[in-house]
Structure 1
Amino acid sequence: MEPRTVGRSAPDEGVPRAENDAGTGTGFASVIAGARRRAVRDGDRQIDSAHLLHSLLESDPEARAAVGTPTQLARLLGYLVQRSIGYGLRWQGGAEVIGAEVAAGGERWSPVAAAALRDAEARGTLRRGAHGGADGVDLLAALVTDLRSRAVEVLERAGIPAGELRDRLRARTADDAPPC
């Protein structure tokens, strides 16, 4: 039987970890730490994309601004808070329940959440070069790429069309890309 909370297991260097700024060289240590606390407090088996989304929105004003209107943001935060106190959305399965990646620190990550952190780093590198690193909007863009993710489910239920958000963020990435 699998433990109910984020467990400890053998390390896998391919998964982000907060001890090394998310294992990506970015400034996501506080976002990861917040996501970890949420997963443990919620009694979840692994850190998922909704944990990352909630923690990101708490800590990054640019990501909050990129989400949409103040009304949409308030509704989104409401869904995330309901989830964290045990009301609202109940997760039935999907892409984030199957499999888990284990970080060097031992926390278990959903494949979607781990991929989003790696994708955010790649986005930051594309936009700013090898020394630039990713920012919170890069992580937000990465969180909306998998339409089966819990982050996308929360966004959609809050009235924020994930496809539209993804397109807006994609346009921002193109605008910020360094010249060839």
Structure 2
Amino acid sequence: MYSNHGPPLDLSHLADDLRLTVELRSVAASARRRATRDGDQQIDTAHLLHSLLEIDPLARAACDAGTGQVVRVLGYLVQRSIGYGLRWRGTVEDSGALPTVQAVAGTGWSPAAAAAIRNAVALARRRGRTQADGIDLLDALASDPECRAVDVLRAAGLDVSGYRDDGPVAS
């Protein structure tokens, strides 16, 4: 699927991948630091969502859509380490199809998070751009109804069922 558009993404070296904007490379690095700090064995889609909303103002605005709900989303994400996400601790965010993908320093990418990064690149390409940005990642996260990021978005009251693969989750 990705062979016609350069080599596959190397999740261990996303900081060097020019198919991601500088902001999105920062999101990936921040998600890895967040997972490591929290003592998680994997970088999951909730780590990606948390970092994305902290770093990318356009993704934050698209998620909020003037409703003020982004504050609730961030609240759930902050609570992750003190309660809300404890049911995830020790489990792999997985559709069952792929193994955890290892990253640098022993923290792996969950299959769902790895798929979200890859899908963001594919979305950007379909939209005629050479680099995936935060909106592409937000859309990729929202398109996976079983991922932890969607669980958080739904818990905060956002309806992601209207995902259309052609615009932000809140559009």
Shorter-chain TM-score bucket reads 0.7 to 0.9
Counterpart-to-counterpart distance in 2, 1:94 and 1:47:
10
Which residue in 1 is equivalent to 2:71?
A: 74
Computed over aligned residues only, the root mean square deviation of the Cα atoms, in angstroms, reads 2.4
Note if contact 2:100-2:108 (Cα within 8 Å) is conserved in structure 1: yes
CA positional deviation for 1:95 = 3.9
Note the alpha carbon deviations across 1:60-85, whole angstroms, 9 max, x for none: 011011113342111001001111x4
CA positional deviation for 1:172 = 2.4
What is the aligned counterpart of 1:145 among 126, 139, 143?
143
Moved more, 33-42 or 99-108: 99-108
Counterpart-to-counterpart distance in 1, 2:149 and 2:12:
19
What is the aligned counterpart of 1:42 among 38, 47, 60?
38
Which residue in 2 is equivalent to 1:107?
A: 107
**Aligned residue pairs, count:** 154
Sequence identity percentage = 45
Equivalent residues in 2 for 1:19-30, closer than 5 Å: 19-21=14-16, 23=17, 25-27=19-21, 28-30=24-26
2:94 counterpart letter in structure 1: E
Note if contact 1:119-1:142 (Cα within 8 Å) is conserved in structure 2: yes
1:172 counterpart letter in structure 2: G
Equivalent residues in 2 for 1:1-180, closer than 5 Å: 14-21=9-16, 23=17, 25-27=19-21, 28-68=24-64, 69-83=66-80, 85-92=81-88, 93=91, 95-96=93-94, 99-103=99-103, 106-129=106-129, 132-164=130-162, 166-167=163-164, 170-172=165-167
Which residue in 2 is equivalent to 1:8?
A: none
Counterpart-to-counterpart distance in 1, 2:84 and 2:104:
32
TM-score (norm 1): 0.75
TM-score (norm 2): 0.79
Counterpart-to-counterpart distance in 2, 1:171 and 1:37:
30
Runs of 4+ with >3 A deviation: 17-21, 92-99, 103-107
Note if contact 1:17-1:32 (Cα within 8 Å) is conserved in structure 2: no
Moved more, 62-71 or 95-104: 95-104
- Bigger Rg, which one: 1
Moved more, 143-152 or 45-54: 143-152
CA positional deviation for 1:94 = 6.7
Counterpart-to-counterpart distance in 2, 1:122 and 1:46:
23
Distance 1:17-1:29 versus aligned 2 partners, 3 A rule: farther
CA positional deviation for 1:154 = 0.5
